[in-house]
A and B are shown apart, each in its own frame.
Chain A
Amino acid sequence: MRNKRREAIVVCIATLAVCFLMLEIGLRVKENRSFDISEGEYVQYGNSFRLRKNMTKLNRWSTSTFTIKTNSLGARDKTTGDKELGDRPYVVFIGDSQVFGLGVDYEESFVGIFDDFASEQGIETLNLAVGGYFLLEQEEFFWDVMERLHRKPLAVFYTLNASSMNWFDSEHENTVVKNGYLFYRSNWMSAYVKMMIRNNLSTYVFFRDAFWCIYRRLNLRGGEVKVPRHFNLYSKDSRLHDQDAAERLEAHIDRFQSKCDELGIRTIYLYVPIADSFRIKEAVTKRGLDPDDYDITLYDRFIKDYCDRHGHTLLNPRPLLREYYEQGEVLDLVRDLHYNEFTNRVVGEYLIEQVFIEHGLF
């Protein structure tokens, strides 16, 4: 009797193992995933991080597959190796992961598209954006590179979004890089193990997502309404509604602008709206919240007002992206908020048109 029960348990486990293996293979084929135990793209830099120099890294995410290449400055580029600027004029982009072009290849990113066109006009492009960087770190990296390069750029694209403006005075203080990946210092070990499982086991991701989904649904029915964290950027509680914080942000931008003015670097302000800012009102309404509590263009208006008062050039593709959104176009990577290839192309072409034709800046 005991032997029979043991045999039944063993048979059951073996059958489940075969089922899991079948599911794993099926999911991998569907998502076109392979094992990923390669080194990540970051190196430790004080309490913060930088990109590894001269690196080629293929990322196979469930949302997209893309390659990151960095040059000898530790900046994203078409190819690895020294950035050959020669004596040609060049422009610089600073920003976070949106400007970095996370989720797409360099050539497909809006900076890459701009770069392609600008190089035909004899202008080089340097993309100093790094995913996850706060505004302070973006600026610090820019000034570091400026010290290393002996020639100043024609212009810097000072790229802002709701996130970078909200966290304008923040810096990474608790970040640790392990095997090229970013973690919080306090729980990096468990996060590292989870990441390896997540990167290499599709069945884990399948069951995790499904159970999270059920958990969230139950929470919604229980009356607890949860909205994604970044929605708060646009809510009534946003820091920008606080006069003191708004003045400090303006003073911060002023300091950057003054430094550029001293060095004769033209500043072009570029606001890149976060892709889902177009559907936040709809999403909060679905959750039974008041859409009027969310001000989507708060940051756009702030920077427009600033640029208008100081006579700076501001580029903002929001109206164009809104048109596409209203036509039903998907602007992000579906499960990831970064711009997809389509949106990158739209923004890249918008930049070319605005910079070279509309404003005739170069």
Chain B
Amino acid sequence: MFGRIKEAISRNKKLIVLTFEVFWIVVFLLNRIAGDAMEMPEFIYVNF
């Protein structure tokens, strides 16, 4: 089982790295956009 997983990982190394990179680039960009434009706060106390 572990052998098969290992093989699949080495076969798809490029894809893993690409997915990893794209994910963190998206997270980085979203964080910048959201962080730059802090909205006016509102009261938080109910789940309406």
Contacts and interface: CB of A to CB of B under 8 A. Distances in A.
A210 B23 contact: no
Interface stretch (A148-156, A296-304, A308-316, A335-343): A335-343
A337 B11 contact: no
A228 B40 contact: yes
Nearest to B13: A11
A337 B37 contact: no
B19 A15 contact: yes
Interface in A304-339: 332-338
Interface in A326-362: 332-338
Interface in A191-244: 191-192, 194-195, 206-207, 209-211, 213-214, 216-217, 227-231
Assign chain B's interface to a size class.
Answer: 20 to 34
A146 interface: no
Contact of B43 (A195, A207, A227, A338): A338
Contacts of A163: 43
Nearest to A15: B19
Nearest to A98: B43
Contact of A213 (B39, B45, B46, B48): B39
A291 interface: no
A131 interface: yes
A230 B42 contact: yes
Interface string A181-195: 111100000011011
A16 interface: yes
Given A183-B47, A183-B48, A229-B42, A206 B23 contact: no
A163 B41 CA distance: 15
Given A16-B23, A213-B34, A7 B41 contact: no
7 contacts: A192-B47, A206-B27, A213-B33, A213-B37, A228-B42, A276-B41, A337-B44
Interface of A: 7-8, 10-12, 15-16, 19, 23, 61, 63, 97, 102, 131-132, 163, 181-184, 191-192, 194-195, 206-207, 209-211, 213-214, 216-217, 227-231, 276, 283, 332-338
Given A191-B47, A228-B40, A337-B42, 18 more contacts: A7-B8, A11-B8, A11-B19, A15-B23, A132-B45, A182-B47, A183-B47, A183-B48, A184-B48, A191-B48, A210-B33, A216-B39, A231-B40, A276-B41, A334-B41, A335-B44, A336-B41, A337-B44
